[in-house]
Structure formats: structure tokens, C-alpha cells
Amino acid sequence: MNPNSDAARDIAYHVHAQTNLDAHLKEGPFIVVKGDGASVIDDAGNRYIDAMAGLWSAALGFSEKRLADAAYRQMVELPYCSTFAHRTSPALIELSERLIAIAPAGLTRALYANSGSEAIDTALKLVWYFWNANGKPEKKKVIAREKAYHGSTIASASLTGLPRMHADFDLPIARILRAPCPHYWKGAQEGESEDAFAARMAAETEAIIVREGPGTVGAFFAEPLQGAGGVIPPPVGYFERIAAICRKYDLLLIADEVICGFGRTGNMWGSETYGLKPDMLTCAKALTASYIPMAALLVNERVFAAMVEESRKITLFGHGFTYSGHPVAAA
């Protein structure tokens, strides 16, 4: 291999995400040089249909001039503005209003991050913040499911239910409880109907809450349709039962729509397709069609009221990122 080639330089300097690094040192990279609509072109000129749209994220295709022009206009007008200490930009105000207008019923406020992982981390922090605000500091354990994928930061990887995401990272962290994956085609018993399977999965989840103590469990995290775990749709009646359990034991319900959001399940949100009414909802990926990194966390008024009350007492809502609500992404 030519030591000055792109492949050699990649091997020498770049550590890849979600890759067998030992194999990469031997095999080298797959170098994509251009995107065109639904296709990508490699450094040898070969064209491929990108059927996965990047990582379920390039929802509007590659190299759309309209999107590039919007980013350019924002870059020459206001290339950066933080959201700290009351600051914002017209582009972010417009995005927030439009995002809430299409959000599932009850979600009324948006706060921003740079990736789905960060949005999930924010949601977990808000679960803990919420229960502190409501005088229940013991209610901090959260439930996530086997085969779930919620991200790769410390908290989001802990919520993820894929063992290879935990191995040798000393994950998951404490307070994470694991519910069964409702994969009907792989998990159903012989002769078990879809409805009966859904009832059993919900009952097993409720048993976890009872075992741990309802006063210690504060939230349930779920992808409406589990993505990286195998594209697993929920069985009929599953989320109706989960929602009832959350109401019974006063758990916040968080929908991870980083993959499902923006039309991937036939409705704007997977929550609408599968009957969830979340207290919080994360979105990213198709939010910007992945042209610029951005994620959002949508919350309802109950959660927002707790945020306001705690920030009044502390004199600060002590969360956010340098690039939260970046105006170029918002545009």
C-alpha cells in the first residue's frame, strides 16, 4: 500500500467508530468520496445504492443543493450562537416552533444536543432532576430493554441492551434495570398469540418494578421500534400495557425516536404509529437529514415545570452544550 494514499493515512491516523480495529489495520477503509441522491461513490468510482441512508439518517438523500444553500446562507449571516444565558437565534426559534407543531400531543418544549446519545443522556439527567424536584430522590432507577440501542456515551450505552456495547467499558452504570425484548417472532412460546406474548412481556416488566420497589423506579426508556437490535416492531397491545404500567407506578415514559422519527414508521413519529404518549421524546438523525449534527429532546409541561422550579431554587438550569441549537443545523 502506498504510504501516502488516503487508505494508508486513514489507517495511520484515524480511529474508526463501531469497527473491529484489529481487522481495520489489515483491511483498511472503505472511502466514500461523493454522495448523489440515494447513492454514494467510492474512491475507485464505484456507485452504490445507500439503502440504509447512512445510519438511518440521510433521509433526504445526498448533495441536495437546497439544503447546502440554506446552510451557506446561515453561515454567512450567523455561523454560531450559543443557547447559554438567554441567547438564541432566529433559526432556532423557527425550528423549535415548527418541531413542537408536529410533535406528539402533549410535548411542548424543545432543548437541543448534538447527537442521539447526548439527547438520551439529557433525558436520563432530567429523569433524576424531575424526581428530585418532586421530592422523591429515591425514584432514580430506570428501565430499558434487552436489544435496545440508545447510544454510545456512558449513560446511553448503559441503557443500550447490547452486550458488546458494554464489554470492558465497565458498563452499564448503576440504576439501570433490564426488561425483556418484546420480539414476538423469536420470543413467543409455542402457540402463544401476539396479544398473549405482549401481555407476558408487560407482566415481566411490571414484576421488575415490584421486585425493585415502585418508589425506586422512575422511568421507562424505549424505542417505538427497536432499530439496531434487529428492527423489531412491538407486538400488538404491548405499548398500551407498558403505558398503563407507567401510569400505575408513576414512571416517566421516554420515547427514543432517533431512528423512528420523521416518517419512518408511516406516521411522523413511531410513538403515533405504536400508541405511545411519552413524557419525553428524543430525535436526531433525520432532524437535519444528517447534513449537520443536531439532536433534540422534547418534553411535556409536567417535566418542564420541574425544570423551571429546580432552576429557580438553584438559580440555574445547569445543563447544555457549546453547540446546542447550532444555528446552521437549525437552518
The 3-state DSSP class for residue 124 equals helix
Q: Decide if pLDDT at 1 tops 90.
A: no
Q: Decide if pLDDT at 151 tops 90.
A: yes
The 10s digit of each residue's pLDDT in 199-253 is: 999 999 999 999 999 999 999 999 999 999 999 999 999 999 999 999 999 999 9
Rounded alpha-carbon distances, angstroms, from residue 17 to 14, 59, 152, 257 = 10, 21, 10, 22
Q: What is the pLDDT of residue 3?
A: 87
Q: What is the pLDDT of residue 104?
A: 97
Q: Write phi, then psi, for 303 (nearest 5 degrees).
A: -70, -45
Q: How many other C-beta atoms can be found within 10 angstroms of the C-beta atom of residue 123?
A: 31
The 10s digit of each residue's pLDDT in 247-274 is: 999 999 999 999 999 999 999 999 999 9
Compute the C-alpha angle 161/163/166, nearest 5°. 95
The 10s digit of each residue's pLDDT in 153-169 is: 999 999 999 999 999 99
Residue 162 amino acid letter: L
Dihedral over Cα of 41, 46, 51, 52: its sign: negative
Residue 291: which pLDDT band, with cuts at 50, 70 and 90?
A: very high
**C-alpha cell at position 78:** 450567523
Report all structural domains of the chain as residue ranges with CATH numbers, in order of start. Answer: 6-63 (3.90.1150.10), 67-330 (3.40.640.10)
Rounded alpha-carbon distances, angstroms, from residue 47 to 37, 43, 44, 135, 243 = 11, 10, 9, 58, 45
Q: What's the whole-number mean pLDDT along residues 41-55?
A: 97
- What mean pLDDT is reported for the chain? 97
Which has the closest alpha carbon to 242: 291, 286, 268, 209? 209
Q: What's the whole-number mean pLDDT along residues 263-288?
A: 97
Using a pLDDT cut of 70, give the percent of the chain over it.
Answer: 100
Using the CB atoms, write b or e for 177-187: b if 16+ within 10 Å. Answer: bebbbbbbeeb
Residue 78: which pLDDT band, with cuts at 50, 70 and 90?
A: very high
Q: What is the pLDDT of residue 159?
A: 98
CA distance 267 to 272: 6
Q: What is the pLDDT of residue 33?
A: 98
Q: What's the whole-number mean pLDDT along residues 284-289?
A: 98
